[in-house]
Amino acid sequence: MNPIVELIDVWKSYDGTQALRGLNLEVYRGEIFGLLGPNGAGKTTTLKIIVGLLKMDKGIVKVNGIDVSEEPYEYKKLIGYVPETVSLPDYLTVEEFLIYSGKIREVPNEQIKERMNYFIRLFELGEKRKSLIISLSRGMRQKVAITSALIHDPDLLILDEPFIGIDPMGQHIIKDLFNERVKDGKTIFVSTHMLDTAERLCNRVAIIHKGQNVASGDLKNLQQLSRSGENATLEEVFLRLTEEAEK
Amino acid sequence: MRINIILEVYKFKVKAFFGALRASRASLALLLVYTLGFIPSVIGFSMSITNAVKQGNINLELYAELLVAIVSALILFVIMLALRGYAVFEYEQNFIFTSPIQPREFLMASMFADFTASLIFVNPVFIFYAIIVLSLGLKFHLALLMLLAILIFIFMLFFLKTSLSIIKILYEGLLINSIILALAFIFLLPALRLLVDFPLKFSSLPYPSTFLAKILLDIIFNEEPQMSNFLGLIFYFSLVFLLFIFASGKNFFPLSKYIPFVSPFDTSMRMQTLKMKKSIKIFSRISLFFQLNLKSRSLLLFLMRKEIIRIMREGSLFAIILLYLIAALISISVRQASQPPQVSSFFPLTLLVGIYSLIVPLMLVSNWRSSEFENLWIPLTSGVDVRTVVRALLYDFILISSAIPALLILILSIFSNTNPISSLILIVSTSMIGCSVNLYVMINFIGKKRRGTPTLLIGWVSLSLSALLLAPTYLSIVLSVYLELGDLVAILLSAAMLIYSALIMRYFLRKMEKSVTNIEI
């Protein structure tokens, strides 16, 4: 099976820090993939390189088989992205922003309307539809950002800490949404610190530490790799693997 | 009071203030500009005073009045600052106020830290002082007394601002606001002397500013200052100090307002972004009638519409209209006042437009940076051709920076029955060159590596480059006005200028389109 995201020996340094040191990673179609790692491990840098916000120093990144260095625009039509710190144009209303997100991705008007209405209903944003984004709470902004990332129905959804600031009901809705999308053959690539959420949500995870892939696979693979026993939680596996990598 | 705690907080605050200097080498340049920028004018100003004193042709009464007015204006400014209440930086509220520090200890540390920080900005006062002392050959004890009077006054201002702003938050209400405003009014009157000639002589009234002014003037003339003036100044200082003792004894910590940390050397865009958010809250309400919808046929037009909405809702459009209205008012008054009429009755407006048209593109581009930088991830990750985004932005900037003054000029030309061609050419030319140069420079400074550069420095680079490239346009307009060129020559020259501007715009647009694809955020 061809991976939808493939990183081969990716290196990146900035501000005097070596953020990625030959990172290798594969994410397959139809899975929820979790990228885990301690602070400063290179998770956000990895996601930013995939979505084209950062350029790598060395290596190959392929999305759906397309080398992102050679074709920096086309592949982005396949992805939806939600950054860790969501900044949205405060001067637009929720509806205007979603129209803007759809238009720049060349989504036909009818589909923009249809998907916008669907997600506004799903995330209970109806009352805020005509409100300026500046008036929204952090959780609502996050929901608007997720909606904008889904407005073109992307094959690959990339999210950096998507649950921060969202209430439990909202988190539940988003997790259900992810599971539904995966059933339709779409892929979710999520970076998170919330290990219990990752354990329940993700089909496979990768643990990165100091810019390198320490281990990847499903929980069973990781339990074997870390020799932490078959009852070990993802948190225990994570701690063991990162400690070993530190040595 | 624990001196060691005061010292620790003082060191912490000074480090925080100057810490931003380490963020970028450009900040050091900014510091040099701050410290050295005023020196030539201070030298010139102090030399003119010392020369006047040496030659003896000085109207002492007028000098006293003006000095009282200037010092009163300073006190007025400090009182007005107190009206917003006692504010601290966010980090102080979170880390210092949650420690067992006493309010008075914090205030003492703050005041000395503010004094240290202000030394950079008030350095012209000390240069002025040094020139006066050396040039007039003042006696040593008089020089010392002068320095003492200045320091007493500076600390009085610090105590006054701190005390009033604490009292303001402690006893919030109509009464305290009225008292502060009444106090402001008392100092407004002598300060107004700078603008209006009052029959009342404020230098004979017992203002603190009067005492300071008289001490300084006496010393400048190498005379012993009158003891009564010194006692008067010390009386006011003591009064303000007592007020400080009272205010600093209260626990104002829970009532203080917080403001995000800002240092003049802070290279981040936080402050501009925060101001922008405030503007959006105000201006969005009145411009919601113009909406972004699905109707636009081309992506370029859609993106242009979106940018115009931003420019309207963040208040930039309002500021530009206001700027040109002021320009129009000034030019109308200059025209009415000029006797006999100038070379061209339209020339003052052309001149003003020439200046403003350079500032407007810079303002538009700087506001775009403050408002949109954090949102750049949206187009950059969407797959849209970012060159279209840049084009939409540039066309909007040119449209707005040329349409508003053009409309104004056309209206004025109809009323004054004059030929608006040269003014219009200037506007279109400055818009095309100014907007493309400013946007190009800004795009080159928003990438990861140069993001630390202060907006002010980017502005200077943009303005200098724009002015340099606009020199031929300015020159041709001045020549056509003064040499009274024939219509045909004027038209040919205008056409040449338009082609020149379009070529410059095209050149920078190409360069921008290349740069924008390499932005890393």
Q: For B252-293, give the DSSP string.
A: -GGG-EEE----TT--SSHHHHHHHHHHHHHHHHHTTTS---
CB contact under 8 A, A90 and B372: no
CA distance B435 to B429: 10
Cα angle value B317/B318/B320 (rounded, 5°): 65
Closest Cα in chain B to A56: B520
CA distance B158 to B76: 13
Q: Which residues of B59-74 are buried (b: 16+ CB within 10 A; e: fewer)?
A: eeeebbbebbbebbbb
Q: Give domain status of residue A7, yes or no.
A: no
Q: Give domain status of residue A10, yes or no.
A: no
* pLDDT classification of B24: cutoffs 50, 70, 90: low
pLDDT at residue B398 tops 90 = yes
CA distance A228 to A211: 23
Q: Is B299 on the interface with A (CB under 8 A)?
A: yes
CA distance A199 to A85: 23
User: What's phi and psi for B378, nearest 5 deg?
Assistant: -65, -60
Residue ranges of E strands in chain A: 3-14, 17-28, 32-36, 58-63, 66-67, 79-82, 156-160, 187-191, 204-209, 212-217
- Burial (CB < 10 A; 0-12, 13-18, 19+), residue B224, is exposed
Domain encompassing residue A115: 31-44+77-246
In DSSP terms, which residues pair with A10 in a beta bridge? A23
CA separation (Å) from A175 to A153, A179, B180? 16, 6, 57
CB contact under 8 A, B292 and A99: yes
Most A CBs within 10 Å, among B280, B296, B382, to test the A interface? B382
B345: Cβ–Cβ under 8 A, 6 or more apart, which residues? Answer: B335, B416, B418
CB contact under 8 A, A99 and B293: yes
DSSP structural state of residue A227: T
CA distance B100 to B266: 29
Q: How many CA atoms lie within 13 A of B20 on its CB side?
A: 21
Domain count, chain A: 1
Q: Are A9 and A22 in contact (CB under 8 A)?
A: yes
* pLDDT classification of B343: cutoffs 50, 70, 90: very low
CA distance B106 to B7: 10
Amino acid (1-letter code) at residue B195: L
Closest Cα in chain A to B389: A104
Number of other CB atoms surrounding residue A43 within 10 Å: 23
Candidates B20, B34, B37, B18; CA nearest to B453 is B20
CA separation (Å) from B278 to A91, B272, B273? 11, 10, 9
Handedness of CA B223, B228, B234, B237 (dihedral sign): negative
| Residues of A within an 8 Å Cβ radius of B | 14-15, 51-55, 72-77, 79, 81, 83, 87-93, 96, 99-101, 103-106, 109, 112-113, 132, 134, 148
B299: Cβ–Cβ under 8 A, 6 or more apart, which residues? Answer: A103, A104, A106, B384, B388
Q: Are B381 and A52 in contact (CB under 8 A)?
A: yes
**What DSSP letter does each residue of B426-487 carry, written as one string?**
HHHHHHHHHHHHHHHHHHHHSSTTTTTS-HHHHHHHHHHHHHHHHHHHHHHHHHHHHTT--H
Q: Which residues of B385-424 are buried (b: 16+ CB within 10 A; e: fewer)?
A: bbebbbbbbbbbbbbbbbebbbebbeebbeeeebebbbbb
**What DSSP letter does each residue of B307-320 carry, written as one string?**
HHHHHHHTTHHHHH
Candidates B136, B164, B134, B133; CA nearest to B150 is B133
Candidates B399, B390, B292; CA nearest to A91 is B292
The closest CB to that of B294, out of A53, A90, A99, belongs to A99
CB contact under 8 A, A55 and B520: yes
CA distance B425 to B410: 12
CB contact under 8 A, B521 and A53: yes
Candidates B339, B344, B350; CA nearest to B481 is B344
Q: What is the pLDDT of residue B266?
A: 55
Q: What is the pLDDT of residue B30?
A: 65
The secondary structure element, H or E, covering residue B88 is strand B87-89
The closest CB to that of A73, out of B372, B378, B385, belongs to B385
Report the share of chain B in percent with pLDDT over 70: 85
Q: Give domain status of residue A14, yes or no.
A: no
Q: How many CA atoms lie within 13 A of B216 on its CB side?
A: 27
The most confident of B277-286, B379-388, B449-458, by mean pLDDT: B379-388
Average pLDDT rounded to a whole number, residues B54-72: 77
CB contact under 8 A, A91 and B520: no
Amino acid (1-letter code) at residue B185: F
Cβ-Cβ contacts under 8 Å, A89 against chain B: 310, 371-372, 375, 378
Q: CATH no. for residue A86?
A: 3.40.50.300
Average pLDDT rounded to a whole number, residues B217-233: 89
Average pLDDT rounded to a whole number, residues B54-74: 78
The closest CB to that of B375, out of A55, A88, A109, belongs to A88
Closest Cα in chain B to A151: B382
User: What's phi and psi for A81, nearest 5 deg?
Assistant: -135, 135
CB contact under 8 A, A91 and B292: no
The secondary structure element, H or E, covering residue B89 is strand B87-89
CB contact under 8 A, B380 and A73: no
Average pLDDT rounded to a whole number, residues B206-211: 89
Q: What is the pLDDT of residue A140?
A: 93
Average pLDDT rounded to a whole number, residues B382-407: 91
Residue B441 in tokens: 């420079």
Q: What is the pLDDT of residue B284?
A: 81
How many helices (H) and strands (E) chain A has is answered by 8, 10
Number of other CB atoms surrounding residue B209 within 10 Å: 26
CA distance A21 to A42: 9
Q: What is the pLDDT of residue B231?
A: 94
Q: Are B19 and B105 in contact (CB under 8 A)?
A: no
pLDDT, tens only, B423-481: 888 889 889 999 999 999 998 887 766 666 667 778 888 888 998 998 888 888 777 77
**Of B90 and B256, the one with more pLDDT:** B256
CA distance B451 to A148: 27
What residue ranges do the domains of chain B occupy?
14-22+60-118+137-259, 330-516
- Let me know how long chain A is: 247
Low-confidence ranges of chain A (pLDDT < 50): none
Candidates B245, B241, B263; CA nearest to B116 is B263
- What is the overall mean pLDDT for chain B? 82
**Of B40 and B462, the one with more pLDDT:** B462
The closest CB to that of B291, out of A83, A90, A96, belongs to A96
Spell out the alpha helix ranges (H) of B56-139. Answer: 60-82, 90-91, 103-121, 123-135
CA distance B264 to B330: 32
Closest Cα in chain B to A16: B449
Q: Is B375 on the interface with A (CB under 8 A)?
A: yes
CB contact under 8 A, B381 and A113: no
Amino acid (1-letter code) at residue B101: I
Count of A-B CB contacts under 8 Å: 93
Q: Are A52 and B352 in contact (CB under 8 A)?
A: no
Angstroms from B310 CA to nearest CA on chain A: 6
Closest Cα in chain B to A74: B383
| Beta pairing class for A58-63 and A204-209 | unpaired
CB contact under 8 A, B377 and A83: yes
* pLDDT classification of B374: cutoffs 50, 70, 90: confident
Closest Cα in chain B to A71: B383
- Let me know how long chain B is: 521
